[in-house]
Amino acid sequence: MSKRDYYEVLGVENAADEKDIKKAYRRVAMKYHPDRNPDDPDADDKFKEATEAYDVLMNAEKRAAYDRFGHAGVDPSMGGGGFGGGGGGSFSDIFGDVFGDIFGGGGGRGRGGPQRGSDLRYTLDISLEDAVKGATVEIKVPTLATCEECSGSGARKGSAPVNCATCAGMGQVRMQQGFFQVQQACPTCRGRGKMVSDPCGKCQGQGRVEKRKTLSVKVPPGVDTGDRIRLSGEGEAGPDGGPTGDLFVQMSVRQHPIFERDGKNLYCEVPITFVAAALGGDLEVPTLDGRVKLKIPAETQTGKLFRLRGKGVKPVRGGAVGDLLCRAVVETPVNLSKKQKELLREFQESLGQGGDAQSPRQTSWFEGVKTFFDDMKP
């Protein structure tokens, strides 16, 4: 019986790269694997056909011969290399290469390098002034550091870790599951490949010790709550001498007694006397750069906003400086003397002579209330 084209078997184009071939083989192999198709007599043949196609197309020399001469270039009975011939990997190699990420390990690759240490997060509480202008702050961070006594090996000085007897130092063991051969982390050494027979007295064989580090953090101008600064290599030390993780410093800006921040703008309330609100005048208001004079126009009402341009925050990611918006709050006088109360009553009587023009908001409000109740009448 004539063989099908290998590219057709895997469902890929002739120009497909190794990644596409590997992906296609995984799909076909999982579809026709005999363990998943016990009632299909053709599944075993299709599975072997796909495996043969994968072995040829993943081998540069075999693929070149196949592209030039077809099946004759790789069939040993016709003088070619043949499936499983010189230079070709075994099926266990193919399985490990394609399915290693599914079952937790790559066949024939051995264990990876030392594990990286964990990243740490530190919440830095700063004032609004430091957030806007920037600052350098010292922090103390509890972490796991490499043991200086054993240099992270976990073994007592003068000794060294030995290869695990279960996995022979590979860190992984192979298990047979039906037709498949699966790799998993060694249960004895937990994937490290090494065992400490004479542990270090300082770290008790862990290779790491608890330590409190003092670090200097440079806070850039314009940061806000939630922004993070990454300090590379300042996290926990990796086990078995592995690389150190990173430290992420997260900003938390404290509430300010005067200013409120909204993005790049600042807001504040400015209390003014009812005399200043009525007649107008100059008033000193605070900013993060010092005091500035604010001109209050006559007849100012509560809620009016005054914008001081360029007195806000310069965003940490760039852009124009924000503004400071001052909200006027007309303050009612308290603790009045008898004479002051009499003067206010005289003033109130004088307002009545001016009609509605001197209290436009009050007049319009009462008219709105009257209209509301009139509309409710049947």
What does the pLDDT look like over 18-30, one tens digit per residue?
A: 888 888 888 888 8
What does the pLDDT look like over 35-80, one tens digit per residue?
A: 777 788 888 888 888 888 888 888 888 888 888 777 777 766 544 4
Confidence at 130, pLDDT banded by 50, 70, 90: very high
Min mean pLDDT across 133-142, 211-220, 234-243 is at 234-243
Locate CATH 1.10.287.110 in the chain: 6-89
What pLDDT, on a 0 to 100 scale, did the predictor assign at position 356?
62
In angstroms, the Cα distances linking 135 to 197, 215, 231, 280, 286 are 49, 14, 16, 39, 21
pTM for this structure?
0.57
Pairs from 283-287 (Cβ < 8 Å, separation ≥ 24) = 285/326, 286/258, 287/311, 287/324
Strand pairing category for 162-163 and 228-231: unpaired
- Give the Cα separation of 106 and 22 in Å (integer): 14
User: What average pLDDT is seen over the chain?
Assistant: 81
Amino acid in position 210:
E
Helix runs in 108-266, H state only: 128-133
Higher pLDDT, 375 or 253: 253
What pLDDT, on a 0 to 100 scale, did the predictor assign at position 308?
93
What does the pLDDT look like over 240-249, one tens digit per residue?
A: 777 889 999 9
Residues of the chain above pLDDT 70, percent: 81
Locate CATH 2.60.260.20 in the chain: 260-331
The answer on pLDDT for 101 being more than 50 is no
Domain 120-253 maps to which CATH number in 1.20.120.1730, 2.60.40.420, 2.10.230.10, 3.40.50.10470? 2.10.230.10
What does the pLDDT look like over 139-197, one tens digit per residue?
A: 999 998 888 888 888 888 878 888 888 888 888 887 766 666 777 888 888 777 788 87
What pLDDT, on a 0 to 100 scale, did the predictor assign at position 148?
84
CA angle 128, 131, 132 (to 5 degrees): 90
Higher pLDDT, 293 or 151: 293
- Give the Cα separation of 285 and 259 in Å (integer): 11
Contact residues for 258 (Cβ-Cβ < 8 A; gap 6+): 268, 286
CATH architecture of 260-331: Sandwich (2.60)
For 174-195, give the secondary structure using H, E and C.
EEEECCEEEEEECCCCCCCCEE
Q: What mean pLDDT is predicted for residues 247-274? A: 93
Domain 6-89 maps to which CATH number in 3.30.830.10, 3.90.1150.10, 1.10.287.110, 3.30.460.80? 1.10.287.110
Locate CATH 2.10.230.10 in the chain: 120-253
What pLDDT, on a 0 to 100 scale, did the predictor assign at position 358?
65
Residue 179: closest CA among 235, 284, 95, 275: 95
What pLDDT, on a 0 to 100 scale, did the predictor assign at position 177?
64
Q: What mean pLDDT is predicted for residues 3-11? A: 87
